[in-house]
Amino acid sequence: MKTVGIVGLGLIGGSMARAYKLYSDSDCQVLGMDRDKATLDVAMLTGAVDRPLTADNIGTCELLLIALFPGATVDFLQENASRISPDALVIDLCGIKQMVCEACFPLAEQYGFTYIGGHPMAGTHKSGFSASRAELFRGAPMVLVPPRFDDIALLERAKRALAPAGFGRFSVTTAQAHDAMIAFTSQLAHIVSGAYIKSPTARKHKGFSAGSYRDMTRVAWLNPDMWTELFLENGECLTQEIDNLIGELQKYRDAIAAGDEKELWNLLDEGRRIKEEVDGV
């Protein structure tokens, strides 16, 4: 991979830029774009980006990674699709896939480049280029959403193109299945964490908390602009998960309020058993 273009130099895009400069097998030129000029300047000063990515040189990119919010990703590709080389591979790195892929698959077909949806399953509670690091994705899962599941060559091409990031495994799925799963594994956890920390008791917890508290509250430290868009774009799947959770919480609440020791024990044991079945001993 000789020329990689990265659109958006926050935590995800910035980490990609650093990874390609540090871990590419051959000399790799990274072109970067960010709406904040200061961010782009810092990225170039640190050596993560070689030159700005522009409308004039986007056609030289063999790989184009788009690390923007979902709506901005679609807007960018709609505005620049005609400038992308037919030989290029384009991968978005958004946290939802159905809305993005439905817009981007037709653009790729119309203008002749290759597009595949992507979602790196890695991150931190911090955001921005200052939080980025070359090792962010090493060993992490990467989800791919291809336009066709029988195109093995495309999947291998995507894996080779993403090799400098160091992903530990790749999962291939549909956009719909991705969004349904991510509503449970990621989005619901952020909502639960945000709701949990709103207890009045939270302000008095110091000296009384340990690992359980840290685990429950870590992802409440989030970027509200990004997560608002992600939650709303995946609203149907996410509300189903919230409804399921409310129903389960109500069972625990009712058993405790009624002093029903047997029912509470059963609920706790059921949760323990399911955790063991799902994730192993």
> 130, 158, 173: which is the final residue of a domain?
173
Same domain, 79 and 157: yes
**CATH code of the domain in which 230 resides:** 1.10.3660.10
Same domain, 106 and 209: no
Mean pLDDT across the chain:
95
pLDDT in tens, 105-135: 999 999 999 999 999 999 887 889 999 999 9
Alpha-carbon distance of 146 to 174, in angstroms, equals 8
C-alpha radius of gyration, the chain, whole number:
21
Q: Which domain holds residue 184?
A: 178-279
For residue 281, the model assigns a pLDDT of: 62
Tokens of 260: 């029903």
For residue 133, the model assigns a pLDDT of: 96
Same domain, 168 and 184: no
pLDDT in tens, 3-49: 999 999 999 999 999 999 999 877 899 999 999 999 999 999 999 99
> 134, 156, 173: which is the final residue of a domain?
173
Same domain, 49 and 185: no
**CATH code of the domain in which 78 resides:** 3.40.50.720
Same domain, 185 and 169: no
Same domain, 168 and 183: no
Same domain, 71 and 128: yes
Domain count, the chain: 2
pTM of the predicted protein model: 0.91
Tokens of 116: 């595949």
